Amino acid sequence: MSVTTAERAPTRVVRTPRYDVTSRPFLVIWECTRACQLSCKHCRAEAQTDRNPGELSTAEAADLARQVAAFGQPRPLFIITGGDPFSRSDLGDIIRSAVDAGLPVAVSPSGTPSLTRENLAMIADAGATAISLSLDGATAAEHDGFRRVDGVYDWTLRGWRIARELGLKVQVNTTVSRHNLHSLPRIAELVAEYGAMTWSAFLLVPTGRGRDLDSLTPAEVEDVLNFVYDAGDYIAAKTTEGHHFRRVAIQRAILAEKGIDHVQALGLGPLYAELRAGLAARAFGGVRRHSRRPPMDVNAGRGFVFVSHLGTVHPSGFLPADAGNVRDLPLTEIYRDAELMRGLRDPDRLEGRCGQCEFRSVCGGSRSRAYAVTGDPFAAEPWCGYEPGSFPYQDEVAARLHG
C-alpha cells in the first residue's frame, strides 16, 4: 500500500517545551472570577451571577503576574479565564500589568452579550494577543442548549469574527459529549470557515456541573481521538484533557510509515467510521494543511498550573486539589516544590494501566479525570481503553519516545 503525502509522519509527532517543566510551566491559567451570566451544563466552576468578594484584587493580580514572570525566560503563557473575565471592570488594567511584566497574555471570555467589539478592542489595546472561544454545537439549538442560554451561538460567532478583524488570534474549544458527538465534522468545518489558530476538542472531566453528564466509553474516546487526528489534515487540531491523543499521534505516524490500515490495526469502531465519512464529505475549500500540528507534551502539574479566583493553586482547573495559595507563597515555589506537583511530574507514581503503559512518559492520561472519578490523581485514566504493550510495533514506539 502506498503512503500519500498527507499520511507521511511529521518530523515531530509530539512537541515538548524547550525547557525543563520541573522548573517552569508552559501555561499558567488564572481564573480571575467565577462570575458569569451563563449556566453551562459542564461548568467546572459552577459559575455564579455575582463576583466573590474574596477574588484577587487588581493589585494582587499584578503581583500574580510578577510571580509568573519570575519563572524566567521563556515566559509562560498567561491565560485569564473565568467565569467570564469581562465581569471584571479592571480586566484591561490586569492585562496591562501582565504585559508590563513581560508575559504573553490570552483571554478566555464567555459567549455572552459582553463579547462586544468595544470589549475585544479593549483587551487587544491592553496587550492581549489571543482569545479562546467555546463552540459546543454545529447549530444554535445544539450550542445554546448546552450553554442553557439562548443567543450564545450567535454572540460567539459574532465575537469570533470581530476578534479576527481586530488582529486577535482565536482558539476554538469544543466540549465533546453525547450532545454533539455526531456534529463534530460540521464543527470542524465551521472552524475552517471562520478561521482559527487552533481547534481543541475538550474531553469532558466529570467535575462541577459536568458530573451530571453521561460519560463516553473508552472505545468512543478512541474513535474521537482518531477523528481529531484526521481533522488535523485540514485545521490545527488538538485536545484538552485528552492526553492519550499523543499516544494516538505516535501510533498513527508509525502505521502510516508502514502503510498499514489504522482502522483495523487500532480496532476503531462505527463512531469513527461515521465521523471519518463526515469529515471526507466536507469541502474545507479543497485545501489540506502542509504540515500537521504536533500536540504539546504537558499535563496537570507538568508544564501546566492553575490559579483560582481565590489564589489557590491547583495542577489544573479540573483537578481542584490544593497545592498552596499565591497569597502565602510565591507561585514559583508552589509549582516547583509542592508535593502534589512533584508527584504529578513522576510517571512512576502512576497506577494501574497508566503505570504499566509504555506511553506513560508522553501521555500520563488525564490526571483530572482520574481524580474526578476515583479521588486519586495517580489512578488510571478512566476514559482510556488501551492495553499496555498491545501495539505491535514497540521498537518504533521506543524510537519515537526516546530517539
Q: Is the pTM of this model over 0.85?
A: yes
User: Which three-class secondary structure string do you get for 136-194?
Assistant: CCCCHHHHHHHHCCCCHHHHHHHHHHHHHHCCCEEEEEEEECCCCHHHHHHHHHHHHHH
pLDDT in tens, 142-185: 999 888 888 999 999 999 999 999 999 999 999 998 899 999 99
Q: How many residues appear in the chain?
A: 403
Question: Given a cut of 60, is residue 1 above it in pLDDT?
Answer: no
Q: Which of 92, 154, 100 is nearest to 125 (CA)?
A: 92
Report if residue 210 sits inside a domain: yes
CATH number of the domain within which 270 lies: 3.20.20.70
Return the pLDDT at 302: 96
Task: Show the domain range for 161.
Answer: 5-286
Domain presence at residue 207:
yes
**For residues 99 and 63, what is the distance between their CA atoms, to the nearest angstrom?**
12
259 pLDDT more than 80: yes
Lowest-confidence region among 8-17, 34-43, 142-151: 34-43
Q: Is 4 exposed, middle or buried (0-12, 13-18, 19+ CB in 10 A)?
A: exposed
pLDDT at 377: 96
Here the cell at position 220 is 468512543
Q: What percent of the chain has pLDDT over 70?
A: 92
Question: Do the beta carbons of residue 104 and residue 330 sit within 8 Å?
Answer: no
Asked whether residue 267 is assigned to any structural domain, the reply reads: yes
Give the separation between CA 94 and CA 162, rounded to whole angstroms: 22
**Residue 140 belongs to a domain:** yes
How many structural domains does the chain have? 1
Q: What is the pLDDT of residues 69-87, one digit of tens each?
A: 999 999 999 999 998 999 9
pLDDT at 285: 73
pLDDT digits (tens, 9 = 90+) for 291-347: 888 999 999 999 999 999 999 999 999 999 999 999 999 999 999 999 999 999 999
Residue 226 is assigned to a structural domain of this protein: yes
Q: Does residue 248 fall inside a structural domain?
A: yes
Share of the chain above pLDDT 90, in %: 81
Residue 388 lies in a domain: no
Is 199 part of a structural domain of the chain?
yes
